[in-house]
Amino acid sequence: MGKKWMSGILGGFLLVLATVFSANAGPDAERRLELRVTPVVKAVRVAAPAVVNITTSRIVERHPFYDFFGSRFGPDDFFHFFGPMQEEATSLGSGVIIDGKSGLVVTNAHVIAGATDIRVRLQDGRVFRANLVGSGPDFDIALLRLENARGLPAIVMGASADLMPGETVIAIGNPLGFNHTVTTGVVSALGRSIRTKQSFHTDLVQTDAAINPGNSGGPLINVFGELIGINTAIVDGASGIGFAIPVDRVRMVTEELLRKGGVHPVWTGLFGQDIDERTAMLLELPKDAGGVLVTEVVPDSPAARAAIQPGDVIVQMGREELRGGKAHLQLLLRSRLSGESMEVVLSRRGEPVRTRLVPEPFTLDRAKDMAMLRWGMKIAVGERPEKGVYVREVRAQSPAAETGIARGDRLLNINGIDLSSPENVMRAISNVYMDNAVMLVVGRNGRAYHVPLRL
């Protein structure tokens, strides 16, 4: 009797449980699942198939005994006696497909810098070899094309001009080798500027979505799954501070990479100098005044069309105040695209003046003109059977002549930039044509010499 009673109670309890579980498996369970599919989940489902993992290989040189002995036996030149070993190094990064039909992938320039082999893995497991279409190191953007790729997903390009601080954002990438990791956060701030070891970046989107090594080149998306930025940098030692290149700039850079294979540096047509205490006193400015004093404006140049005049002081460019003088100005111009309008704030006889400056491309012809105008040497780029940059003429009593540069010399490097291509020539000269001192590496009779050029 007792056993039957207990069995009846247990059977009834199990029936109740079955009824509960059955109810939970019905419409209520479906409703619960719908509630769990938040806008973030929907956005990830939309965008994740277009996010890729990038593996690069590069050849590096290493001296075989250095790892064992280090510098205990004196300077590194000791190891040069044995000669370097070449070995393959690999690195990881992220990217996103922006055009499935053409197989185009956007990533960071630093992710693929120096790579001899680039492999791209999709979320569905497919792996493709990728070729470099073009790279813009000053913008940290590179464009890849996948080989023999069909049926590719692609992300929808959004907009970054209307981003709002506090807006929810999502980062997807390959941090520390963990494929397709999703992190969320908000837009922390807009228009940030940061300096990295390689360059200076402006107008970045700051986010607190967790970004780690390997996220570089991956997408920052909004709650609709649209691309709003390319993740590019984190601050060492900081927590919850990451940066992304806004998608409006990504779009402009990739269009130029498609057309030209690179990004032209820009030309404004103005020359300037730093403001020291004496100059500040003459201009009736504070002793610690920043900015750049305009000394010359080239006729019919972007600066001339913006009505900038000699004697003006450039106080601000875009959102950046020029606290670092001429060097700061040059860094800002390196992060600008030709045709990209920017507001410039001037001080003219003590009164603020606002104007808009639209830079033009700094072409190879312009680079040659600057070499003659500023340094006094006429250069030829790739006009000999051997590729390279050669001095064709040296103007008497010019900085080049006083330094000892002669006709027939070969220019190998300007301020650390190897002159191995016309693009590098343009970039190198655009970086330094306003400088008063430049370091050249000059080739003569099969030997290379470091030559400081002073104006």
How would residue 35 be classed by pLDDT, with cut points 50, 70 and 90? confident
Whether 239 is a known active-site residue: answer no
Mean per-residue pLDDT for 30-36? 85
Mean per-residue pLDDT for 280-292? 78
Better-predicted residue by pLDDT, 438 or 14: 438
| pLDDT for residue 26 is more than 90 | no
CA dist 74 and 30 (Å) reads 72
Whether 22 is a known active-site residue: answer no
pLDDT at 155: 97
pLDDT at 319: 83
To the nearest whole percent, how much of the chain has pLDDT over 70?
85
Kindly report the number of other CB atoms within 10 A of residue 203's CB atom: 19
Q: Are 377 and 371 in contact (CB under 8 A)?
A: yes
pLDDT at 331: 84
The residue annotated as part of the active site, out of 91, 94, 110, 335, is: 110
**N-term to C-term CA, the chain:** 112
Q: Is domain 156-260 given the CATH code 3.40.50.1820 in the classification?
A: no
pLDDT at 435: 87
pLDDT at 163: 95
List, for residues 395-433, the tens digit of each pLDDT value.
Answer: 999 999 999 999 999 999 999 888 988 888 998 999 898
CA dist 151 and 156 (Å) reads 16
How would residue 9 be classed by pLDDT, with cut points 50, 70 and 90? low
How would residue 455 be classed by pLDDT, with cut points 50, 70 and 90? confident
List, for residues 161-186, the tens digit of each pLDDT value.
Answer: 999 999 999 999 998 888 899 999 99
Better-predicted residue by pLDDT, 165 or 191: 165
The residue annotated as part of the active site, out of 160, 216, 338, 398, is: 216
CATH T-level topology, domain 266-361: Pdz3 Domain (2.30.42)
Q: Are 345 and 227 in contact (CB under 8 A)?
A: no
Better-predicted residue by pLDDT, 168 or 321: 168
pLDDT at 183: 95
| pLDDT for residue 18 is more than 80 | no
Burial of 142 (0-12, 13-18, 19+ CB in 10 A): buried
List, for residues 100-154, the tens digit of each pLDDT value.
Answer: 999 999 999 999 988 889 999 999 999 999 999 999 888 899 999 999 999 999 9
Mean per-residue pLDDT for 229-245? 84
Mean per-residue pLDDT for 191-195? 83
Secondary structure, 3-state, 206-268: EECCCCCCCCCCCEEECCCCEEEEEEEEECCCCCCCEEEEEHHHHHHHHHHHHHHCCCCCEEC
Q: In this structure, what token pair is assigned to residue 292?
A: 């750049």
Q: In this structure, what token pair is assigned to residue 421?
A: 């291509």
List, for residues 358-405, the tens digit of each pLDDT value.
Answer: 999 999 999 999 999 999 999 999 765 567 899 999 999 999 999 999
Whether 110 is a known active-site residue: answer yes
Q: Are 384 and 391 in contact (CB under 8 A)?
A: no
How would residue 11 be classed by pLDDT, with cut points 50, 70 and 90? low
Q: According to CATH, where is 2.30.42.10 located in the chain?
A: 266-361, 364-454
Q: Rounded to two decimals, what is the model's pTM?
A: 0.78
The residue annotated as part of the active site, out of 135, 138, 140, 180, is: 140
| pLDDT for residue 71 is more than 50 | no
List, for residues 288-315, the tens digit of each pLDDT value.
Answer: 777 899 999 999 999 999 999 999 999 9
List, for residues 352-370, the tens digit of each pLDDT value.
Answer: 999 999 999 999 999 999 9
Better-predicted residue by pLDDT, 14 or 122: 122
Average pLDDT taken over every residue of the chain = 85
CATH architecture of 364-454: Roll (2.30)
